[in-house]
Amino acid sequence: MGYLNAIIILGGINIIAALGVAIITGYTGLFTIGHAGFMALGGYACAILVTTFHVPFAIALIIGGLFAGLCSFIIGVPAFRSQLRGDYFAIATLGLSEAIRLILNTTYKVVGGAFGFMGMSNLTTVPVVVIAVILALFFAHMFVTSQYGKNCIAISQDEVAAQMMGVNLLRTKLIALFISAFYAGVAGGLMGFYMAYLSPSFFTITRSSDLLAAVVFGGIQSLIGPTITAFVLVAVPELLRVFSEWRLIVYGLLFVIIMLFRPQGLLGYVEMNFAFARRWWNAVFTPHQAKQGTIKGDQ
Amino acid sequence: MSDSIFAMKNVSSEEISLKNLSVQFGGVRAVDNFSMTLYPGELVGLIGPNGAGKTTVFNLITNYIKPTSGEIFFMGKSLLGKSPDEICRMGISRTFQNIRLFPQMTAYENVELGLHNVPHYSLLEAFVRTPRARRAEAETRKRALELLEMVNLKDFAGERASSLPYGLQRRLELARAMATSPTLLLLDEPAAGMNEDECNELVKLIRQIHEHMKYTIIMIEHHMNVVMELCKNSRIYVLNLGSLLAVGSPKEIQTNPQVIKAYLGERKHARYNSNAGSQ
Amino acid sequence: MDLFLQQVVSGISIGAIYSLLAVGYALVYSVYNFTNWAFDAFMAFGAFMAFYAISSFFLPFWVAAIISILLAIGMAVSTEKLAYRSLRLRKAPRLFMMISAMGANLAIVNLLNLFFGGQFRRFPVENIGTFSMGQVSVGRMDVLAGIISFGVLGLLWVFLYRTKPGLGIRASSIDILTASLMGINNDAVAFIIFAVTGVLSSVAGIFYGIKYAVYPTMGIVTIKAMIASIVGGLGSLPAAVVGSMLLGILETLVAGYISSTYRDLFSFLFLVIILLFFPNGLMGKSSDEKL
C-alpha cells in the first residue's frame, strides 16, 4: 500500500510539473530544460514559509508557486526581448536552474546548503496530491482554451505571423512562463513535504529532462498526453528498477525517434475539449444557425 | 501625372504617408528615397520586377525592418519605433507573399486569433471563465464566422489551415488580416499562383471587401490583369531597384515607356504592347 | 597586479577552450539556425576516447588526440545523419530540432556513463610544469591549449575564407536554399560542418579534460560556450571568439577576486545583463526571417 501511495504521490507531483512544461514548451513552443530550477524555488520557499513562518500548507504552496513565477521573469524578460530566438530562452533556463542549484548548494545559512533543508512534516498525502492534480488540470485546461492560451498556440506555430496579427509576444510569453513556473513551483512544494526534506540534488538537469520527456512523449499541444506520460514515467521506472541505468539513454533515443517519426507525440494536438466534437458540429452546421451566433463547438 | 488625384483630396486627412523612405542592407539600397501618400478608402497597386523592394516597403510599414532614413506617418502618428504588433493594433494589417497561416490551427481559429490578439478579458477571468468572459468569447466566435462567411470559407471553418487548398489558404489569410479590424490593409501578392478564373474571383472578392469595409488598401501584385482591374479608378506605384519609377493610373503606367523598359525588358516590349492593345 | 595578470593569463587559456566550443555552436547555428545541444556529448565523447586511447592502449598523446578527433568526427557526422537530417529536409520547426538534439545528447552522455562509469578521471598526461614570466607563473599546458586552440580556429578561418568548400559553407550560411540552387551540395555542406564540430569538440574535450577531469557530464561546461556565443552574438564566428575570451577572462577574475564558487553564477548573470542591454549580443545583428 505504501508503495502504491508513493507512486501516486510522486506521479501526481510529476504531472503538475509536467503540465507546467506543457504550457511553455507544448503550447507556446519554447524549449525549456531548466524547470527543475523553478521546482527548487517553489519547494524551498514553501518549506521555509511553513516551517519558519507557520503559514498554512495550502497558502504556502501558492506563495511558493508565485515566487517561482516571479523569478522566471529574471530570464523571461531578457530572453524574450530578443525576439525570434528560442535558443536564448532554452540556454537561459538551463543557466538559471544551474545558478539556483549553485546558490542552494553553497548557502548554508537559511536553506541548509548541500545538506539540504530539513524539518518538514509529511503533509503531502494522497488526497492532497489528487486534489492538486485535478485543480492543476482544470486550470491548465482553462488557460490553454482561453484567448490567452490561443495566442500562445499561435506564437508556437508562427511567431512572426502572430506578431504581425497584433499579438504582443513579450507579454504573452511572459504570462505563459509565469504560469508554467508557478506549476513547477507548486510541484516543488508538494515534493518537499512528501520527502520531508529538500536537497539541491533533487533539482538537477536530469529532472528537467524527465519533465521535457513527459511533454515530448505525451504530445505537443496536449494536456492529457503529458499527464499520462508524466505518471507512467514515474510509475514504470519505480516498478522496473533494472531499467534505471538505461532510462535516460532510452529517453534520449525516443526523443530522436519521436521527432523523426511522430513529432506530435503520443497525443499531440489532442485536447481535452474534444476537438472532434467541434469538427462534428461544423459538419452538421448549417449557415442559418450561424447568423444567430449559437455555436457551442468547444463548450 | 497623378497631381489631379492628389488635388482632389484634403491633405490633412491622409491615411498613411511614407516620406523619403530608405533602407540599406549591406551596400544595397533595397528601398531608396521612396515616398507614397494614401487617403482613406483608396486602393492602390504597388508593382515592379522581382527584387524591386515591394515587400520591403510592407516590411518597413509594419516595422519588421527598420528604415535607414525617412519617416512613416499613419493617421498623423509616426510609426517609427513602434513594434509590429503595436502597428497592427493601430490598424494596419497584412497578408504574406508566402502564406503564413498557423498551420495546425483550424481556419476558424486562424481568424479568431486576429480578433483576440488582445484578449477580451483578464487573465484571472480566463481561469474561471466568468459569464462576462463567456459572452466575450461568444461575440468573438460570431464575428470570426462572419468574416469566414465574407470570404466564402464558412464551410471550411473546422478544417486545419494546412489542409486547405492553396487558393483557400490565401482567402483565409485575407480573412485573418481583416479580423484585426484594420483601416489599412497591405496585400502581398494575393493572386500569386492563381489561374485566371481564381484571379477573377479574387478581384471580385477584394473589390467587395474594399467597398463593404471601407478599407484603404495597398496591393502588391504580379498579375497585371488583377492590378489594372482593381486600380482602374486610382493609381499604381511602380518600383524598380528600390526607387519609385512611376506613379499614375493604369493607363498611364501601361504606356509609360520607362516602365515598359524596366519592367518588361526591351525584348518583351513589342509583345506587351500588342497584349495591351487587345484588352 | 600580479594576481590580476595571473588571472588574465589563466582566463585566456580557458577562454580559448570556450572559443572552440562557441565556434562549434555558432557554425551550426549560422547555417541551420538551431543550437546543437548534442555538442556537449561530442565533447565528452572526444575526451573519453583520448583518455582510453592513452590509458588502455598506451598510445602517445598525439596519436590518441588524432584518434579521438577522428572518432568525434564520426560521432558528429552520424548524429547529424540520424537525428537531424530528415528533420532539416522536411523543414521541421526549430523546437523539433532542439528536442532531437537534446535526445541525442541525453543518449550519448548516458551511454558514456553506462559503459565507463560516472567517476572523475585525471587525464593521463604528465604535468609539463610551469614557467614564469616576470612575477606571473604560467602553466605550459595552458599555453599549449591556447596555441592549439587558436591554431585550430586559424585553420578553420583559412578553410572558410580561402578555400572553395569554405565559400560554399559561407554561401549556405547566408541562404541555404539559394546556395543549393547554385549547385552547392547541401549534404556535403552538412558533412563538413559537422565534421568541423567534431574536431572542435574533441580538441576542446581533451584540453578541458587535462585542465580539470574526464567524466561523462563534463560537457555541461558547454553551457559556458553557449553563453559566450550569445554574449558575442549568435551565429557569428568572430563574435563567438570575442564572447568566449571575454567570458573566460571575466569569470577567472571573479574566481580569483571574489570566490570560485560564484564563478558559474557570474557567467549566468553576465548573460542576463548582456541580453538586457544588447538583445542580440555584443556584435550580433538581429536576424530577420524573410517574409
Distance of alpha carbon B197 from alpha carbon B203, whole angstroms: 10
Residues of C in contact with A91 (CB under 8 A): 35, 223, 226-227, 230, 271
What is the Cα–Cα distance from C283 to C291, expressed in whole angstroms? 24
Q: What is the pLDDT of residue B3?
A: 47
Specify the pLDDT at position A220.
87
Where does the pLDDT of residue A83 fall: very low under 50, low under 70, confident under 90, or very high at 90 and above?
low
Mutate to test the interface with A, among C18, C274, C275 (most CBs of A within 10 A): C275
Nearest CA in chain A to B85: A166
B102/A161 CB distance under 8 A = yes
Residue B24 touches chain C, beta carbons under 8 Å: no
Cβ of residue C149 closer than 8 Å to a chain A Cβ: no
Judge: A139–B112 Cβ closer than 8 Å, yes or no. Answer: no
Residue type, A106: T
CB contact under 8 A, A102 and C100: no
- Average pLDDT for A98-112: 90
β-pair type (A197-198, A117-118): antiparallel
Could B55 and C291 be called an inter-chain contact, meaning their C-beta atoms sit closer than 8 Å?
yes
CB contact under 8 A, C289 and A29: no
Q: How many helices (H) and strands (E) does chain C have?
A: 12, 2
In percent, the amount of chain A with pLDDT more than 90 equals 60
Residue B98, judged by CB atoms within 10 A of its CB (0-12, 13-18, 19+), counts as exposed
Instruction: Determine the Cα–Cα distance for residues C102 and C249; give it in Å rounded to an integer.
Output: 29
CA distance B185 to B151: 15
Q: B59 touching C, CB under 8 A?
A: yes
Name, in order, each residue with C-beta under 8 angstroms of C124's C-beta and a sequence gap of 6 or more: C51, C54, C55
Cell digits of residue C130: 610551469
DSSP string, C261-280: GGHHHHHHHHHHHHHHH-TT
C129 dihedral zone (left: phi>0; alpha: psi -120 to 50; beta): left
A286 touches chain B (CB under 8 A): no
3-state secondary structure B176-199: HHHHCCCCEEEEECCCCCCCHHHH
Residue B99 C-alpha, separation from nearest chain C C-alpha, in angstroms: 9
Q: Nearest 5°: CA angle at B223, between B221 and B227?
A: 65
Helix ranges restricted to H, B93-195: 107-115, 123-128, 131-150, 166-179
pLDDT attached to residue A150: 96
Size of interface B-C (CB pairs under 8 A): 11
B 183-212 residues with CB < 8 A to C = 188
ipTM of the complex: 0.87
B140 touches chain C (CB under 8 A): no
Asked whether the beta carbons of residue C288 and residue B98 sit closer than 8 angstroms, the reply is no
The pLDDT value given to residue C289: 62
Does the CB of A163 have a partner CB in chain B at under 8 Å?
A: yes
> Kindly report the CA angle at A25 between A22 and A30, in degrees rounded to 5?
160
Over range A62-89, report the average pLDDT: 87
**B18 vs C232: CA distance, rounded Å:** 35
Residues of chain C with C-beta less than 8 angstroms from the C-beta of A245: 114
Running DSSP on this structure, what letter comes out for residue A269?
Answer: T
Task: Give per-residue pLDDT as tens, A7-59.
Answer: 999 999 999 999 999 999 999 999 898 999 999 999 999 999 999 999 999 99
Exposure of B188 by Cβ count < 10 A (0-12 exposed, 13-18 middle, 19+ buried)? buried
Q: How many CB atoms lie within 10 A of CB A140?
A: 25
A62-72 average pLDDT score: 97
pLDDT of A294 over the 60 cut: no
pLDDT at A286: 43
User: Domain residue spans in chain B?
Assistant: 1-91+182-279, 101-181
Domains of chain A, earliest start first: 2-203 (1.10.3470.10), 275-299 (no CATH)
Structure confidence at residue A110 (pLDDT): 86
Cα torsion B102, B106, B111, B112: sign: negative
Chains in contact with A via at least 3 Cβ–Cβ pairs below 8 Å: B, C
End-to-end CA distance of chain C: 53
**C106–A209 CB contact, under 8 Å:** yes
The chains in contact with chain C, meaning 3 or more Cβ pairs closer than 8 Å, are A, B
A235 to chain B, any CB pair closer than 8 A? The answer is no
Pairing of strands B43-47, B216-220: parallel
Judged by CB atoms closer than 8 Å, whether chains meet at B123 and A278 is answered as no
pLDDT-derived band at A85 (thresholds 50, 70, 90) equals low
Residues contacting residue B73 through CB under 8 Å, at least 6 positions apart: B14, B16, B17, B19, B79
User: What structural domains does chain C harbor?
Assistant: 2-277 (1.10.3470)
DSSP assigned state of B247: E
Across the range B201-205, mean pLDDT stands at: 92
Q: Counting Cβ atoms within 10 Å, is residue B109 exposed (0-12), middle (13-18) or buried (19+)?
A: buried
What is the pLDDT of chain B when averaged over all its residues? Answer: 87
Residues of chain A found within 8 Å of residue C266, distances taken between Cβ atoms: none
Q: Do B100 and C291 touch (CB under 8 A)?
A: yes
What pLDDT does B31 receive?
92
Instruction: Residue A158: list chain B partners with CB under 8 A.
Output: 100-103
- Stretch among A293-297, B57-61, C178-182 having the lowest mean pLDDT: A293-297
Question: Partners for B (CB, 8 Å, 3+ pairs)?
Answer: A, C
* H or E stretch at A155: helix A147-157
C-alpha cell at A146: 482561453
Nearest to C276 among A78, A98, A103 (CB): A78
Q: What is the mean pLDDT of each run of 10 residues along chain C (291 residues)?
A: 82 92 91 87 95 92 94 95 88 85 92 91 83 81 89 93 89 84 86 94 94 90 90 86 94 88 87 85 69 64
Q: Read off the C-alpha cell for B67.
A: 528604415
Cβ distance of A82 and C287 shorter than 8 Å: no
Interface residue A194 vs chain B (CB under 8 A):
no
* Higher-scoring residue by pLDDT: C112, A82: C112
pLDDT band at A241 (very low <50, low <70, confident <90, very high): low
Residues in C 82-111 with any Cβ partner in A closer than 8 A: 82-83, 86-87, 92-100, 102-111
Residue with cell 545583463: C273
Of B88, B106, B120, the CB nearest to A166: B88
Q: Judging by DSSP bridges, how do beta strands B69-74 and B43-47 pair with one another?
A: unpaired
The C-alpha angle with vertex C18 and arms to C190 and C267, in degrees rounded to 5, equals 125
pLDDT band at B12 (very low <50, low <70, confident <90, very high): low
Question: Please, what is the angle between helix B166-179 and helix B107-115, to 10°?
Answer: 20
Superfamily the domain B1-91+182-279 falls into = P-loop containing nucleotide triphosphate hydrolases (3.40.50.300)
Residues on chain B touching C91 (C-beta within 8 angstroms): none
Q: Is residue A268 left, alpha or beta, with left meaning phi > 0 and alpha meaning psi from -120 to 50?
A: beta
Closest-CA residue of chain A to C98: A31
* Chain A CA closest to residue B155: A282
Q: How far apart are CA A91 and CA A98, in angstroms?
A: 11
The pLDDT assigned to C261 comes to 81
Q: Do C288 and B65 touch (CB under 8 A)?
A: yes
